[in-house]
Structure 1
Amino acid sequence: MPAVLPNDLRTSRLILHEPRPEDASLIFQSYAQDERVSRYLIWKPNTRLAETESFIDGCLQGRLDGNRYAYVLVLPSDDDIPIGMLDAKISLHGVEIGYVLSPVHWGKAYMAEAVAAFAEAVLAMPEHFRVQAYCDVDNPASARTLENAGFHREGRLERFIVHPNISREPRACYLYARCK
């Protein structure tokens, strides 16, 4: 049986919950079309709502399959409005994460808070020993997010991930991890 991750998480300022189909239109409007948001990500800005809906469908299917757990981030005061997402994929002894946040909420340390809470919950589970993430070497904001969440830079991976909004060729990334 595949390992399961928490269904929902709460921090002092955020709620992380399972995506819902109705989140797609709000995510599309809020940040999925924004070139600034997708600059260092593996996807191009969504140009149609159907792209965002397909992404949410994939997140929900991954949960059913037990190998992917996506979380929508919301503020408790406005819990119907997604401000970002954290996406987690289960590997042999750990979890790999990626994340995205609406530019309106950049600079407020929301993502570091979400990543730290998620890592603590995962590492409290006996079957997981590691939570890891990658970030482009030219993305200091993401590196700072991971460091503020208690992650440590383990290395630099050359020609590792294609960020199609920057180049069609694989780019160097830093590998960060938090382990128990």
Structure 2
Amino acid sequence: MPNTQILAGPQVRLRPPVVEDAEALYARIASDPEVTRYLSWCPHSGVAETRRVITTLFNVGDEQTWLVEVDGQVAGLCARRRPQPYAVELGYCLAPQWWGRGLMSEAVSLMLADLRSDPTVYRVTAYCHADNAGSAGVLRRCGLSLEGRLARYAMFPNISDEPQDVLLFGKAVR
């Protein structure tokens, strides 16, 4: 289902990505090995690949993706998907120039606040690579609790060709 929703906070604005965002997304997010290190996808090979992802993969099926804007600039991405009818899983990434400023915590908090109005959502989860302290901090600041370390749970192709350990965070929202 297409995402048309805009969420806004004091520092960030979340809006659906459009094809015109491809160059900025490629330059700041999709081509940066620092950003993609702990993601499930490899850096894009060019703007054309980013354009293709925007038009074919974002906001398809049960996933909603937002572009994170800071001062009108492309700063990151965040998404949520429904692995089960009653649960939502969150994911996100942010360009390094905006790390350490609480921006992704604000973006995730906006997604969580929006979910509270959905009576069909009972649980929210997110996981991050076990070594990704920054992401774990975002999830803790947003009120998710560490539920455990899952051994060899997810692929991070920019780290290894073998499954890696993750930290699983969760929260009941009703």
Query: For residue 7 of structure 1, what is the aligned residue in structure 2?
Result: 5
Query: Structure 1 residues 59 and 7, CA, compared in 2 at 3 Å: closer, same or farther?
Result: farther
CA distance in 2, matches of 1:108, 1:58: 31
Displacement of 1:119 = 0.9
Shift of 1:94: 1.6
Q: Percent identity?
A: 32
Distance 1:108 1:9 in 2: 19
RMSD: 1.7
**In structure 2, C-alpha distance between the alignment counterparts of 1:112 and 1:164, rounded to whole Å:** 25
- Which residue identity does 1:22 align to in structure 2? E
Q: Which runs of 4+ in 1 moved over 4 A?
A: none
2:168 maps to what in 1? 175
Structure 2 segments unaligned to the other structure (5+ residues): none
Shift of 1:61: 4.9
Alpha-carbon distance in 2 for matches of 1:142, 1:61: 23
Alignment coverage as a number of residue pairs:
172
Residue in 1 that maps onto 2:158: 165
Number of the residue aligned with 1:142: 135
Aligned to 1:113, which of 106, 111, 120?
Answer: 106
Residue 21 of structure 1 is aligned with which of 19, 29, 33? 19
Equivalence for 2:146: 153
Aligned to 1:73: 68
Q: Is the counterpart of residue 42 in structure 1 residue 34 in structure 2?
A: no
Contact 1:59 1:68 in 2 (8 A): no
Q: Aligned partners of 1:85, 1:50: CA distance in 2, in Å?
A: 18
